[in-house]
Amino acid sequence: MKSFLAFIWEIAKIVIIALLIVVPIRYFIFQPFFVKGQSMEPNFGSGDYLIIDEITYRFRPPQRGEVVVFRYPDDPSQRYIKRIIGLPGETIEIEEGKVIIYNEQGGRMLKESDYLSSSVFTSGNLRITLDGNEFFVLGDNRAASADSRGWGPLPQENIVGRTLIRVWPFVVFAKIKVPNY
């Protein structure tokens, strides 16, 4: 009986130590995320399993081109995944399928050939200026994406984290790269 209780105690210690290590990492540093829907195809498909980095944005702001997971502004219980296009203080204009960014350096058309095919058309005609804590996000599959064109700027406090690694499907296991603009 004594050896059985010692065995149970050893198992309990292992479980407690594992929980003390895994739970803080899972809830404060990295988080899993399943992609649902077609809004980020072909770069991320429905069912892709991603690891989200929740700590980087505590040390630096999000950058253009990063793919982020965030709480949807109209229903914070839902998580969305989109690409950051516009940064705080910039003016974003969409006209005739082109995305133009205006900031203190002037205006320039956004070069998205690193992650979008040339056949992708960005619908809509809008011009929006972002406040100091807002971002403009778009899905990579513009025709099937609910994004900032429809519901407006994304407040920074809604951002959960940036995509770090695609774990599944395993054949496309990779660190997520940020395009150069």
Record the pTM. 0.75
**Structure confidence at residue 48 (pLDDT):** 86
Catalytic residue IDs: 39, 82
Q: Determine the average pLDDT of the residues in 37-44.
A: 77
Q: What pLDDT is attached to residue 175? A: 66
pLDDT of 55 reads: 82
Helix (H) or strand (E) run with residue 26 in it = helix 2-28
| Mean pLDDT of the region 13-25 | 71
Per-residue confidence (pLDDT) for residue 133, from 0 to 100: 92
User: With the C-alpha atoms ordered 58, 64, 123, 130, is the resulting torsion angle positive or negative?
Assistant: positive
Compare 150 and 26 and report the one with higher pLDDT.
150
> Is 83 in contact with 136 (CB distance < 8 Å)?
no
d(CA 165, CA 47): 14
pLDDT in tens, 70-126: 988 888 888 888 999 999 999 999 888 888 888 888 778 778 777 777 777 777 789
Whether the per-residue pLDDT at 45 is higher than 80: the answer is no
Confidence class of residue 29 from pLDDT cuts 50, 70 and 90? low
Q: Tell me the average pLDDT across 9-37.
A: 71
Looking at residue 79, its pLDDT comes to 87
